[in-house]
Amino acid sequence: MSTEPDAPSVVPENVPARRRNHALMAVVIAVLVVAADQLSKWWAMSSLELGAPQRNVLGDFLSFRLVMNPYAALGLGAGYTWVITVVVVVVVAVIIRFIGRIRSVWWAVTLGMLLGGAVGNLADRLFREPGFARGHVVDFIGYAHWFTGNVADIAIVAAAILLALLSVIGLGLDGTREEHGKAAEPDAPADTTSRDA
């Protein structure tokens, strides 16, 4: 039998470090989305006139028109702005909790965009007129005659699409894939114990 000491087992990848890296990625993406959203809203407020005719960008399909939106979505919820604000705060808290469990780049991107979009519009609800938690959201990107949105909305819609795709392919927050209703086991460390006789 070999007198050499057993070779050390392969040390699995540092899971807490990976989680921190993915969480950091999600936070950075969220910050970038919020910055882009608020800067674009500042531009809209300083360059567009409320109630003025739209500025066509791509014919009638895409235009700029400034709208101060008191609604939740699709013209609903104008009288319950504070309720919308509370709901969004809860959603943001839930997203932040999930971010700590991420071990997938795609989930980091998805939750980062979702968090950034939610915070971007939440900032409007909290700090814009007519008052705290009742503020109107700045919308300025018009899509034909369907609706008017902003950069935060774009991030939220993109995150929703990615969320649906991740659900379809069965990719979990921890980076494992669902296979036939069961989660695929993460790769186990290789057994490097000496078997020499």
Q: Which of 6, 60, 153, 191 is catalytic?
A: 153
Report the DSSP beta bridge partners of residue 178: 183
Kindly list the averaged pLDDT for each block of 10 residues, start to end, along the chain of length 197: 50 62 95 98 96 87 92 57 85 92 94 96 93 91 91 96 95 79 45 47
- 174 belongs to the catalytic site: no
- 139 belongs to the catalytic site: yes
Q: Which of 6, 60, 139, 191 is catalytic?
A: 139
Global pTM? 0.78
DSSP string, 49-67: -TTPPPEEEETTTEEEEEE
pLDDT at 71: 73
**CB distance 88 to 118 below 8 Å:** yes
